[in-house]
């Protein structure tokens, strides 16, 4: 493994590349990355980088966003099959139909959506800034997709009427976490706080001590007086929590909270990606230009130093 890591570091230098990794990536990928974060942090980092090549260790919509924000850079994803199933649940046609039904509504899409659907959005949000972004919209009715659980979270924290599009879009990894998973964990760790992601089902959101994006979880667990936490999101975040907050204990609410798409990327694939400059992610210009307007809308609401 040491040789492989050295090979990656050398290739990275040769290519003038940066490695960005999502919090749900395998531990060894997080450890070699130049930056590890959530979708919002990774988008900001993709804008700021001086590197010529961005190796994106995440899923397709994240690499697409990096490419839209950096049309002059080479954006690579080490495995083309790292495709987010939730993003695929929303089709352009669904948004068009909803717009006809609610002509006065504005459309806000979760960043976990395809570049093509983003062209139909007035603004994009991440789980770190969804309520703030939606509160800043003019219309009282917002078409929101693709995650109906995040839609529930947002509706409770804004004065807007939220229409989920499609009606039943979910992240399979988060949606499977049940109330019983948390009750059972609490029996084992009665002093732990429940910290969950807003992609979990409403019943679990209601029982949580804190709901946040992965980056928000990190901030919360650092500041909290508690020493133990039951974490309700993809289990890749546990590595980062343990690494950055060594004095505290973190337990996964369920061992099955694993996103298969996020785990597609391995060290070997990162090496091959740098070596052969594969697989390049390019968004057609007509899609990219329109999608960028909606992404810029999101970024305009938040500066790099805003709390998550
Ligand atoms: S964790 Fe869920 S939303 Fe994130 S990439 Fe996997 S399936 Fe998509």
pLDDT digits (tens, 9 = 90+) for 44-60: 898 889 999 999 999 99
Per-residue pLDDT averaged across 170-178, rounded? Answer: 98
pLDDT at residue 293 tops 50: yes
Q: Does ligand 1 have an atom closer than 6 angstroms to the CB of 86?
A: yes
Q: Evaluate whether the domain defined by 86-171 bears CATH number 3.40.50.300.
A: no
| Domains 2-84+262-282 and 173-252 in one fold | yes
**Residues 221 and 44 sit within 8 Å (Cβ to Cβ):** no
Residue 40 — pLDDT band, cuts 50, 70, 90? Answer: confident
For the CA of 171, the nearest atom of ligand 1: 2
Give the pLDDT confidence score for residue 307 in this predicted structure.
41
What are residue 210's phi and psi, to 5 degrees?
-150, 140
For the Cβ of 173 lying below 6 angstroms from any atom of ligand 1, the answer is yes
Which token pair is 221? 């667990």
- pLDDT of res. 44: 85
CATH class of 2-84+262-282: alpha beta
> What pLDDT shows up at residue 41?
87
Residue 110 CA to ligand 1 center (angstroms) comes to 12
DSSP code, position 225 = S
Q: Using one digit for the tens of pLDDT, what is the confidence trace for 212-230?
A: 999 999 999 999 999 999 9
pLDDT at 149: 98
Q: What value does the mean pLDDT take over residues 142-166?
A: 98
What is the helix (H) or strand (E) element at residue 195, kind and residue range?
A: strand 193-196
Contacts of 222 (CB under 8 A, 6+ apart): 244, 245
Tell me 199's DSSP state.
T
Residue nearest to atom 8 of ligand 1 (CA): 84
pLDDT tens digit sequence for 2-25: 899 999 999 999 999 999 999 999
pLDDT band at 308 (very low <50, low <70, confident <90, very high): very low
Distance from Cα 172 to the centre of ligand 1, integer Å:
7
Alpha carbon of 307 to ligand 1 centroid (Å) = 23
Q: For the segment 258-268, what is each residue's pLDDT rounded down to a tens digit?
A: 999 999 999 99
Burial 53-77 (b: 16+ CB within 10 A, else e): bbbbbbbbbbbbbbbbbbeebbbbb
Supply φ then ψ for residue 62, to 5 degrees: -70, -45
pLDDT at 305 over 60: no
CATH number of 173-252: 3.40.50.10800
What pLDDT, on the 0 to 100 scale, is given for residue 302? 63
pLDDT at 246: 97
Q: Where are the alpha helices (DSSP H) in 102-145?
A: 115-118, 130-135
pLDDT at 43: 82
Domain extents in the chain = 2-84+262-282, 86-171, 173-252
pTM of the model: 0.95
Is 146 within 8 Å of 165 (Cβ atoms)?
Answer: yes
Q: Return d(Cα 165, Cα 278) in angstroms, integer.
A: 33
Structure tokens at 57: 């260790």
Quick check: CB of 234 below 6 Å from ligand 1? yes
Cα of 86 vs centre of ligand 1, distance in Å, is 6
């Amino acid at each position: 493994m040491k040789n492989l890591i050295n090979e990656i570091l050398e290739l990275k230098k040769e290519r003038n590349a940066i490695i960005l990794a999502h919090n749900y990536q395998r531990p060894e990928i997080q450890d070699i990355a130049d930056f590890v974060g959530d979708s919002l942090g990774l988008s900001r980092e993709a804008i700021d980088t001086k590197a010529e090549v961005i190796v994106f260790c995440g899923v397709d919509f994240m690499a697409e966003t990096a490419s839209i924000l950096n049309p002059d850079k080479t954006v690579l994803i080490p495995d083309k099959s790292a495709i987010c199933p939730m993003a695929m649940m929303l089709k352009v046609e669904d948004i068009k139909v909803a717009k006809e039904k609610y002509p006065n509504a504005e459309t806000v899409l979760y960043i976990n959506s395809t570049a093509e659907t983003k062209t139909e959005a007035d603004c994009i949000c991440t789980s770190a800034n969804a309520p703030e972004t939606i509160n800043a919209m003019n219309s009282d009715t917002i078409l929101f997709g693709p995650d109906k659980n995040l839609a529930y979270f947002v509706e409770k924290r804004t004065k807007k009427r939220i229409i989920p599009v499609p009606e039943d879009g979910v992240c399979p990894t988060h949606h499977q976490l049940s109330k019983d998973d948390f009750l059972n964990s609490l029996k084992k760790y009665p002093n732990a706080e429940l910290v969950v992601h807003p992609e979990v089902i409403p019943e679990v959101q209601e029982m949580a001590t804190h709901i946040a994006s992965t980056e928000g979880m990190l901030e919360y667990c650092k500041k909290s007086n508690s020493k133990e936490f039951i974490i309700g999101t993809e289990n890749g975040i546990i590595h980062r929590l343990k690494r950055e907050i060594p004095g505290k204990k973190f337990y996964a609410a369920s061992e099955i909270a694993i996103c298969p798409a996020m785990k597609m990327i391995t060290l070997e694939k990162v090496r091959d990606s740098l070596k052969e400059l594969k697989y390049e992610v390019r968004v057609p210009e007509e899609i990219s230009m329109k999608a960028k307007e909606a992404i810029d809308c999101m970024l305009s609401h938040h500066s790099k130093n805003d709390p998550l």
